[in-house]
Structure 1
């Protein structure tokens, strides 16, 4: 949630085209336990005197002609409040701040927030000093004993740490992973790679006796979380590596597994990785995409890998967005 308004009347939601705050706390898509968290969070902002960060709109920009851009732009501290709820009803709350100026006040008043939200298990301050449309910074200050939120899907306790990607719609994500597991088991690969693996959703769901699974993810936080889950489940044939999934191009030529899962961001996997998969010995690719345009572009570079199964999942209800899962098989 973008934080706008004032210290005494904070607005949680988004900004409109001219920079005014739009309250989204009553959106009907939220689970009730998530929606119930917003009023205590607004009260916490007031109590801790966390001034919302001011984003200059078009009018402000014209009015500040001849003045220092930095002096006008860098007003306020609190940029976003990021709230995640687990299937078990537990919460992770991250306060994205311009600096650590208000950190002492956040710490001081955190007990009152935890009293109002007894299901709050992870709280952090993320420092994002840039005046730019960037959601989070590199520095994360954990304020609670727990550093990870347990996202329990189909009995698998995925550990979500700050700055780790997780699917927006948990119920649909569980269906996505179940479908992937069914198709992977039908293929029955002895070796499986999960590229852009995040906290290991696909890799851990698709693990099976006698199957070697390797997950590759850029975020070290996500890799640490996925590795902890695999260790806790005793999955000795599942391992995770920190790295750019696109850097496996060279490895595909010499150690290609029987099957690869890709779950890239909206930009897709790109021509380089797509061509490498097409030219490799990989027999099947399972592609999870949230952007059909980049998916189509990637498929154009993989003519030897033909779509044989597909399913559309309504990951983002009442919007134009979606998730599509596509099984590709090598055309021999």
Structure 2
């Protein structure tokens, strides 16, 4: 991939830019093998999964700077001044086409960009998420509600200028810190969720829901987890940190065992509401799906694992933040009677630490999923089986 922003030293966010993509992929694969060499010494590595090296990002997280009527969309430089990156080649083609029109709309509406050095202004970020359907979610991150009435009054202008935008919201982030978004979300559009088709399932993303940055590679990750579930054939599946339900829905839909009980646990009420909507839609198409429930809860709550039926005929899926599941949850899994574990990680170092805390399990297979070309970021999924009975 060639990038004029990188060549001109305006943006160096892509730390692997200039390295041939095949070499990037091989380097990440070798790094993950080395990191897990001790904690998963007997693991069988499957070939890495990759997609396009450019035009893959379904999200754009853009800092707004500049002046009213002449904004920049991109990042901040070392002096906290805006660097315009509206033509960044990492974004999906549909986003590449949309971002300049969003900038023009912001200029037309005379929205006031937030000036970090001066600590004044309103519009901090623009967040875009694009579905394979071509529809887009647009979020304005504001310092206060000062522009809220203006955006509400000009909603028809937004939808006219940006017809692919299906969900529009305002997020309030009042503090002067490097925080992307705040706790308050105000939906302005009639629709409050973006439909995201993946492998024949439809996930529903509300404004603050998490979904992987790379749709094609995320779909491959879900299919890999479903293949492992099909192989294990558990009666009970517990999906911790389930988000909008991607892993749990794939596990419920997988073949070979009727009456499987699948349960997802997630801290975000909005994500759980989205997962429940997807589950209801799946049941309409697949009446043979067994029990499929989603609930709001903390994945580290000790009572959640204890509620899993006793016996080895169970599988737990974890997809935690970069910090990993940590010693507390690792100890709970180790002391449980869970038969298999699928661990999806975006940080191979915390993954290795957590696997060392699970001596009763052996890693069977692992695979790198390259969600983030041009950077050192990675996603690794591992299938583990219990070899020691803790009863």
Scaled by the length of structure 1, the TM-score of the pair is: 0.92
Q: Distance in 1 between matches of 2:309 and 2:86?
A: 47
- The equivalent of 2:166 in structure 1 is 121
Q: Distance in 1 between matches of 2:161 and 2:225?
A: 39
Whether contact under 8 Å (2:252, 2:290) holds in the other structure is no
- The equivalent of 2:300 in structure 1 is 246
- The equivalent of 1:231 in structure 2 is 280
C-alpha offsets along residues 299-332 of structure 1, whole Å, 9 cap, x if unaligned? Answer: 1111111111000011011110011000111113
- The equivalent of 2:80 in structure 1 is 19
Higher RCO, Cα 8 Å, sep 6+: 2
1:256 Cα deviation from its structure 2 partner: 5.0
Pair 1:267-2:312 in alignment: no
Cα gap change, 1:44 to 1:277, in 2 (>3 Å): same
- Once the two structures are superposed, the pairs formed by residues 91-130 of structure 1 within 5 Å of their partners are 91-130=136-175
C-alpha offsets along residues 168-223 of structure 1, whole Å, 9 cap, x if unaligned? Answer: 11111000001110011100011000000010010001114311110011111000
1:296 Cα deviation from its structure 2 partner: 1.0
C-alpha offsets along residues 21-78 of structure 1, whole Å, 9 cap, x if unaligned? Answer: 222221212111111111121122112221111112xxxxxxxxxxxxxxx42x0000
- The equivalent of 1:68 in structure 2 is none
C-alpha offsets along residues 278-314 of structure 1, whole Å, 9 cap, x if unaligned? Answer: 1110011100000011111111111111111000011
- The equivalent of 2:192 in structure 1 is 147
Per mean C-alpha deviation after superposition, the further-off stretch among 157-166 and 255-264 is 255-264
Q: Distance in 2 between matches of 1:86 and 1:175?
A: 16
SS at match of 1:315: coil
- Once the two structures are superposed, the pairs formed by residues 205-224 of structure 1 within 5 Å of their partners are 205-208=250-253, 209-224=258-273
Q: Distance in 1 between matches of 2:336 and 2:207?
A: 35
Q: Distance in 2 between matches of 1:122 and 1:30?
A: 19
Q: Distance in 1 between matches of 2:306 and 2:192?
A: 38
SS at match of 1:233: helix
- The equivalent of 2:132 in structure 1 is 87
1:110 Cα deviation from its structure 2 partner: 2.4
Whether contact under 8 Å (2:172, 2:182) holds in the other structure is yes
1:166 Cα deviation from its structure 2 partner: 0.7
SS at match of 2:367: strand
What is the aligned residue count? 315
C-alpha offsets along residues 139-189 of structure 1, whole Å, 9 cap, x if unaligned? Answer: 111111100000000110100001111111111100000111001110001
Per mean C-alpha deviation after superposition, the further-off stretch among 17-26 and 3-12 is 17-26
